Amino acid sequence: MFEYDPVLYSRLLTTLTLAFHVIFATIGVGIPLMIAIAEWMGIKRNDPHYTLMARRWARGFVVTVAVGVVTGTAIGLQLSLLWPNFMRAAGHTIGLPMFMETFAFFFEAIFLGIYLYTWDRFKSKLKHFLLVIPIVIGATASAFFITTVNSFMNAPQGFTLVDGILTDVSPLAAMFNPATPTKISHVIITCYLTSAFILGAIAAFHILKGNKHVYHKKALHLTMVAAAVFAVGTAVIGDFSGKYLHEHQPEKLAAAEWHFETESEAPLILGGFLTEENEVKYALQIPYALSILAGNSPDTVVIGLNDFPQDELPPLWIHYMFDLMVFIGMYLAAVSAFFIFINWTNKWNAFNRPMLWAVVAGGPLSMLAIEAGWIFAEVGRQPWILNQVMTVAEGATTSPHVDIMLYVFIALYAVLGATCIIVLRRMFQSNPVEHELEKLGISHDTHRKIN
């Protein structure tokens, strides 16, 4: 008979909540910037298509914000119920960034309400545009503050440990730990990249369905240009993240790359599978690349898994999460860059079906990369909930009813997810772009080249 394990159920429920919440959190951080870019383009070019773009994206954004509030609240609840020992030890340490995250969200929500209800209320379009800037700041600040909590869990500092309790706490030192710069920048830039691709995938799908309106072509062009910029930023920050892992969490880097022996000139391993004897089979090995990633030199010595205690190693399947994240990131960069190239050179039709399908695939793939990245970040820290300070088992509840909570939240998230999809579909299907454009008297130009 299966033995009930509260730690296992606590991990499953937290994983479920984070996996569901990160979808809406990612959209919540990235979409406001895309709205701001679209509205700015509308003002700069005096182009009503971009203005309508911002308006429609903002409507859909509100729905996702509502769901994100529910799932975000669930995370706060579950921290107290599922991880009471962790919160007892570290709650006062992470209290400041969690409060600031809530404050940033309310700051964003206030201006979002004003922004939505003041369309066409100003003679100057620029005044309305200024209202979206606090929304972008609030959304990004929310990501900043909540990610410092995760950074603290990976690189805890700013306290003295006395009998399992963190004392003499310096909240600012805890927030601005060695993991903070790379963790925050990586989270924020990938939110921007993912949101750009999701919006681009929607535009590409409309064109594939036969809707050749220039509105959708402009939306696709705008999102792909933004995505290309964010993809470059993601690659640069990813390089810095590898160097951070080499210095501060070498066991995580070694597990991600199935690197067992400490050595210089270490290869980067992509794909493959691991035998029971820890032999890597059928993988692509790039010579010297891991050492270069770790320290910008083939001579950099990378510590291997064999030099760490076996009970402090993360599960080695995180290699696949790392590869999935990297491969998708490369795919997104290639698709967005190629779209821009062929549209700029005008040698081929940038809106051809293979290109459009590639963009459509990039939407769900970008979110899959976000999920894989978070799994890699969290599971790669195992067995620690607070790195080198408290294990997951020590931080978890001993309650006998976590399994019931798991089933309840599965049902809740199923209802929330289905409701969100239904509301968004009906919202836009009942009010398509063409109807809004006709009301505004905007011409139906389907042939203009997009620049």
pLDDT digits (tens, 9 = 90+) for 315-353: 999 999 999 999 999 999 999 999 999 888 877 777 888
Residue 279 forms part of a structural domain: no
DSSP state for residue 430 in the 8-state scheme: S
- Domain assignment of residue 296, yes or no: no
pTM of the model: 0.91
Task: Say which DSSP state 120 is in.
Answer: T
* CA nearest neighbour of 49 among 429, 412, 450, 377: 450
Q: Is the pLDDT of residue 447 over 50?
A: no
Query: pLDDT tens, 179-222?
Result: 999 999 999 999 999 999 999 999 999 888 887 778 888 999 99
In a domain, 293, yes or no: no
Q: Does 439 fall in a domain?
A: no
User: What are phi and psi for residue 30, nearest 5 degrees?
Assistant: -85, -35
Determine whether 26 is exposed, middle or buried from the number of CB atoms within 10 Å of its CB (0-12, 13-18, 19+): buried
For residue 372, the enclosing domain spans: 6-262+303-434
Residue 441 belongs to some domain of the structure: no
In a domain, 294, yes or no: no
Picking from 241, 255, 30, 257, the residue whose alpha carbon sits closest to that of residue 151 is 241
Is 111 part of any domain?
Answer: yes
- Does residue 82 fall inside a structural domain? yes
Cα distance from N-terminal residue to C-terminal residue, the chain: 64
Give the residue carrying structure tokens 């606590």: 10
Number of independent structural domains in the chain: 1
Confidence band for 1, pLDDT divided at 50, 70 and 90: very low
Distance of CA 240 to the CA centre of its chain: 17
